[in-house]
Amino acid sequence: MKNKIVIGTAILLVGVLLGGVSFYILGELTGVKRAHAPIVAPNVPKQILETSRAFSEIAASISPAVVNISTTKVMRRDANPLFDDPFFDFFNPFREFRTPKKWKEQSLGSGVIVSQDGYIITNNHVIEQADEVRVTLLDKRSFKARVIGADSKTDVAVVKIDAKDLPTVSWGDSDKLQVGEFVLAIGNPFGLSHTVTMGIISAVGRANVGIADYEDFIQTDAAINPGNSGGPLVNIRGQLIGINTAIFSRSGGYQGIGFAVPANMVRLVMEQLEQKGRVTRGWLGVTIQELTPEISQKFGLNNGKGALVGDVAKGSPAEKAGIRRGDVILEFNGKKVKDVGNLRNMVAQSKVGSEVSIAILRGNKEYSFKVLIAELPKEIAEASPGNAPEESPYEGLAGVSVMELTAEGAKQLGLRRDERGVVIVRVEPGSSAEEAGLRKGDVIQEIDRKKVEKLADYNRIISAIRPGDTILLFLNRGGKKFYVTLRTS
């Protein structure tokens, strides 16, 4: 009985297998295809579709105002004078050595049209020292451009082409930007015309980047590459909020950090370049420095906001208004001062001859001054320190050797002969003084807000300082005056 069941089961399985194979072969021979389940389209939310369409419309409206800028520079290399010697005629009777070597260097960048009659903004480094500048529009028309003006301190330049009724981009207010806003960068990276990339504003007010003298950069993660320089950064309204300037990269390509000059700064520079061919900047006549936590503590500040006045130039607007060394500037013309870079930019962008209000903290009290802005002098002399006098040094602060500053010593250090203090003649390597930034040739003129005019003053003040105290030093380094904190050991 069991054998019959096993045999029956085996026959059944073989039948099923043969049936499946037969069905497959028959289907292949007759062309009958097996049915597949239909692919269902994804249900894309309406908001995403509208956002995608909006970005496309922004790119389409802005691209005609974005141009390709190509520059040509003729490079020359004169022949070696040695080859002019008649002796070389023996080897080369045609005197090819006398022929100057000459070649052309070409570079590419971007720009954006801001007026219908052909004014275009780009970067200074795009057109710098170029012998010829050419502008190519989206419709492939090409024009020779002339440089209206350039400002290396902000890396902004203005060029113009002879054309009319050109497409333009509208200006946005870069002071109202918020971190996290969507932005588009448009330009010609690697010569790839009118490339559009998208990102967000990563940060605003970036300074101390080392790209330009006056920095207030917008940071973005929209892809920016070589060739994007001078192109526009626009918001979701299609307004110009910045001019793409540089990237932070270890490879030379995009790594998620790009910088743009804010539109408000660009507009001020452009207006002056158009009107005067140069940029004039406001001047207060103060040396300012950042408020570190240690310096803030010494001045009784809690939030570290503002800029510390390290020195006031004689005859400057600040001196005439009553601002003193040691004051902390809190507000400039009604705007809070965030840091040194922020104040420096606000002063520079102030109209020469205008009156501004400045709020300062002096001691524990706030004061307000009216200051008449002057023009930044073309050349502000910066005395370079000479060699510090090498005489019997006095050991006071650990790691620092000093001697009294004489009139002759002041002259050697590039200082006025009437300057007073003690000059550092040695800083011990690895000491806390070296870590704090003290150098040989620095002149100590104050310790904890107490004047140091002679070595006796220095000795008296230092004798009251205990190990582990943090002291505030006021230094004069070749005419530059500033504060430094030092923790004694």
What 310-314 contacts at long range (C-beta under 8 Å, 24+ apart), as own/partner pairs, is 310/286, 310/474, 310/480, 310/481, 310/482, 310/483, 311/286, 311/287, 311/480, 311/481, 311/482, 312/285, 312/286, 312/287, 313/285, 313/286, 313/287
For domain 46-76+100-279, the CATH class is: mainly beta
Q: CATH for 282-375?
A: 2.30.42.10
The answer to whether 258 is annotated as binding is: no
Q: Exposure of 191 by Cβ count < 10 A (0-12 exposed, 13-18 middle, 19+ buried)?
A: exposed
Over residues 339-361, mean pLDDT: 89
Using a cut of 0.75, tell me whether the model's pTM lies above it: no
Asked whether the predicted pLDDT for residue 94 surpasses 50, the reply is: no
The answer to whether 165 is annotated as binding is: no
Whether 394-487 and 282-375 are alike in CATH topology: the answer is yes
Q: CATH for 394-487?
A: 2.30.42.10
Q: Going by DSSP bridges, is the β-strand pair 450-451/470-477 parallel, antiparallel, or unpaired? A: unpaired
Terminal-to-terminal C-alpha distance of the chain: 103
- Identity (one letter) of the amino acid at 444? I
Q: Are 270 and 276 in contact (CB under 8 A)?
A: no
The answer to whether 229 is annotated as binding is: yes
Residues marked as catalytic:
125, 155, 229
The answer to whether 125 is annotated as binding is: yes
Asked whether the predicted pLDDT for residue 344 surpasses 80, the reply is: yes
Condensed to tens digits (0 to 9), the pLDDT of residues 245-300 reads 887 766 666 678 889 999 999 999 999 999 888 888 899 988 888 888 888 887 77
List the alpha helices (DSSP H) in 288-330: 293-298, 317-321
The answer to whether 251 is annotated as binding is: no
Asked whether the predicted pLDDT for residue 395 surpasses 70, the reply is: no
Domain boundaries defined on the chain? 46-76+100-279, 282-375, 394-487
Condensed to tens digits (0 to 9), the pLDDT of residues 276-287 reads 888 888 999 888
Asked whether the predicted pLDDT for residue 397 surpasses 80, the reply is: no
